[in-house]
């Protein structure tokens, strides 16, 4: 689009490899000595070296993660001890990736980070980055963080724009990692512009980067855009014109909770072609924001396509009230569907805090 003279809010193909090519991202961190990386190796084919690397990590007491290198819609990652029973299953899954061509048919083997996940967005104009509030997503399908990994079942943010388990140092380091990434991309590919989404794991050693998206994250974007006070158009102009540093980027001091309503069986064997019933008026009356996702309109009916169907967002002065709004709204979405009612609840947030207390001793 830029080649046609059309102003574009988004990276070019080379810069977008920060998301589309995990090898590019990990190698960028190594080359420019950016904090927050982890132990990993890439493989172009199944080999004894791949098997040995998996065994070596396990012998050190490190759980193994197997990932396709390319994009898989957030559903290609499998972990020993979770989706994979043991090393042999990890090796078998790696072989399946090569044989199927999933995510480009290349494999990344890396250490599983122990801790709590969180995300951070930034608006970038190649030189400057303006951060949004921190958000926590919930990728597991079922309540209590059980079940397979999904594209994200829901998320929350705090009125203070941090998260309950993050220290001031965690916040500083997370932002520094993204700032250093932007600088490295300027040197490596001429710069990144657009929206940069960092998915982090907070470990006992501090924040580490799991992956980047070269776009808004889903569902987290629904949290942050719901409380964006500044003009989004002005932000986009700042990105395109390279003067983002002069643009005011502010967010309301509000809490948000987003919950996805998804087809039964999602993500592994979701029902498809079934009607979903959404009472827009009642959802509006409880104060929630409604977002349609993977649905089609057919003969005046809403039909689910198999992925996440509908999201609702509650916005309030505190997380508890925002959660109540979102949960109330789910009552007006019916069909062969389910959602995680625990997202945004005190018990689940307290669980995250306790995990970090235990890890940090």
pLDDT in tens, 140-166: 999 999 998 899 999 999 999 999 999
- List, in sequence order, every residue forming a beta bridge with 216; answer none if it has no partner: none
CATH number of 116-359: 3.30.470.20
Does the pLDDT of residue 179 top 90, yes or no?
yes
Q: How far is CA 49 from the centre of its chain?
A: 31
Q: Within 13 Å of residue 59, how many CA atoms lie on the same side as its CB?
A: 6
CATH number of 39-111: 3.30.1490.20
Put simply, whether the predicted model's pTM sits higher than 0.85 gets the answer: yes
C-alpha to C-alpha distance for 35 and 168, rounded to whole angstroms: 17
- In terms of C-beta density within 10 A (0-12 exposed, 13-18 middle, 19 or more buried), how is residue 36 classed? buried
C-alpha to C-alpha distance for 21 and 65, rounded to whole angstroms: 17
Of 64, 106, 69, 67, the C-alpha closest to 88 is: 64
Q: Which sequence spans correspond to the domains of the chain?
A: 39-111, 116-359
Does the pLDDT of residue 254 top 90, yes or no?
yes
Q: What is the side-by-side order of every strand in the sheet holding 206-213?
A: 129-131, 116-125, 193-203, 206-213
pLDDT in tens, 299-353: 999 999 999 999 999 999 999 999 999 999 999 999 999 999 999 999 999 999 9
C-alpha to C-alpha distance for 75 and 238, rounded to whole angstroms: 34
The phi, psi pair for 335, rounded to 5°, reads: 140, -160
Does the pLDDT of residue 204 top 80, yes or no?
yes
Taking CA atoms, 349 is separated from 148, 201, 314, 353, in Å, by: 20, 15, 17, 7
What per-residue confidence (pLDDT) applies to 73? 64
pLDDT band at residue 74, thresholds of 50, 70 and 90?
A: low
Q: Coil, strand or helix: which one is 42?
A: strand
What is the torsion angle, in degrees rounded to the nearest 10, for the CA atoms of residue 55, residue 57, residue 61 and residue 65?
-100
Helices (H), 147-231: 168-189, 220-226
Residue 286 contacts residue 298 (beta carbons within 8 Å): no
What per-residue confidence (pLDDT) applies to 22? 83
Look up tokens 């399946």; give the residue. Answer: 96
pLDDT band at residue 295, thresholds of 50, 70 and 90?
A: very high
């Amino acid at each position: 689009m830029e080649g046609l003279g059309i102003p574009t809010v988004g990276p070019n193909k080379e810069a977008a490899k920060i998301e589309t090519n995990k090898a590019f991202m990990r190698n960028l961190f190594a080359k420019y000595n950016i904090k927050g990386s982890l132990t990993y190796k890439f493989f172009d084919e199944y080999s004894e070296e791949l098997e040995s690397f998996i065994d070596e990590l396990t012998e050190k007491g490190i759980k193994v993660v197997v990932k396709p290198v390319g994009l898989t819609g957030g559903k290609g990652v499998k972990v020993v001890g979770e989706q994979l029973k043991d090393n042999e299953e990890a090796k078998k899954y790696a072989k399946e990736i090569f044989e199927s061509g999933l995510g480009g048919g290349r494999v990344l083997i890396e250490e599983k980070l122990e801790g709590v996940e969180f995300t951070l967005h930034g608006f970038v104009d190649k030189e400057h980055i303006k951060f949004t509030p921190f958000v926590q997503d919930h990728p597991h399908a079922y309540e209590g963080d059980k079940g397979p990994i999904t594209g994200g079942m829901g998320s929350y943010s705090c009125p203070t724009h941090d998260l309950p388990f993050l220290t001031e140092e965690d916040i500083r380091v997370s932002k520094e990692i993204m700032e250093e990434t932007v600088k490295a991309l300027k040197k490596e590919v001429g710069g990144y512009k657009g929206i940069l989404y960092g998915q982090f794991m907070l470990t006992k050693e501090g924040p580490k980067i799991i992956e980047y998206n070269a776009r808004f994250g889903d569902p987290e974007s629904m949290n942050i855009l719901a409380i964006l006070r500044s003009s989004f158009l002005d932000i986009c102009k700042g990105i395109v014109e390279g003067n983002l540093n002069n643009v005011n980027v502010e967010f309301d001091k509000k809490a948000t909770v987003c919950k996805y309503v998804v087809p039964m069986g999602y993500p592994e064997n979701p029902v498809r072609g079934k009607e979903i019933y959404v009472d827009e008026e009642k959802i509006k009356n409880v104060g929630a924001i409604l977002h349609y996702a993977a649905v089609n309109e057919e003969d005046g009916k809403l039909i689910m396509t198999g992925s996440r169907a509908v999201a609702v967002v509650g916005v309030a002065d505190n997380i508890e009230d925002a959660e109540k709004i979102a949960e109330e709204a789910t009552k007006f979405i019916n069909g062969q569907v389910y959602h995680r009612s625990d997202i945004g609840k005190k018990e689940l947030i307290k669980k995250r805090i306790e995990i970090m207390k235990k890890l940090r001793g």
